[in-house]
Amino acid sequence: MLKVKIIIGSTRPGRIGPTVGKWVTEAARKQDGFEVETVDLADIGLPLLDEPNHPAKKEYTKDHTKRWSAIIDDADAFVFVTPEYDFFPPASLVNALQCLSQEWKYKPAGLVSYGGVSGGLRSAQELRMLMVNLSMVALPGVVPVPFFPKFIEDGTFTPNKEMADGAAGMFAELAKWAKALKPMRG
């Protein structure tokens, strides 16, 4: 069974990442062949790049980095749930990606982005470039959530048909890539 990690990228107080992330997790569980785990960066508590060695060496000295490394190393695929802050992904998510290196290699990643009129697509595009530079396979399609407050009622996110169909398609594609890339990781 393939292990997919849903990573909630925002750590900001008052964020809605966990609300959107819950829907993404439920959508992932509908996909056959996935073992699904949600990882909230707010729970991980990574400080800003505090390791003395370059992450390519994988010689971590801090317990939080060792724990983060184990979580990511264990995955076959990822879906990042990200808002758009000032036309860019949150610093917490960029930091979480940059503090590791080897653990990301040859694993596919999808994106669910949320925001205003753009649905967080500018944030997603920046993240896709970073993912490729970390040797991940960034899926070309993104599931955007424009005007996200319209889809939240009583703390529950309810997607429209296009979002639900987009998520289903993303997970189907993620499964194909995860299976194909697994032998590369030995």
pLDDT tens-digit profile, the chain (186 residues): 999 999 999 999 999 999 999 999 999 999 988 999 999 999 999 999 999 999 999 999 999 999 999 999 999 999 999 999 999 999 999 999 999 999 999 999 999 999 999 999 999 999 999 999 999 999 999 999 999 999 999 999 999 999 999 999 999 999 999 999 999 987
| CATH number of 22's domain | 3.40.50.360
**Which residues, other chains included, contact 56 with Cβ-Cβ below 8 Å and sequence gap of 6+?**
101, 102
- At 153, which helix (H) or strand (E)? strand 152-153
Count up the domains in the chain and report the number.
1
pLDDT at 32: 87
Range of the domain at 20: 2-185
- pTM, full prediction: 0.97
For residue 136, give Cα distances in angstroms to 85, 146, 151. Answer: 23, 26, 30
Closest CA to 68 of 91, 97, 48, 90: 97
Only one residue has tokens 């490729």, namely 132
- At 109, which helix (H) or strand (E)? strand 108-115
How big is the CA angle at 40 (ends 39 and 43), to the nearest 5 degrees? 115
**Which residues, other chains included, contact 15 with Cβ-Cβ below 8 Å and sequence gap of 6+?**
42, 83
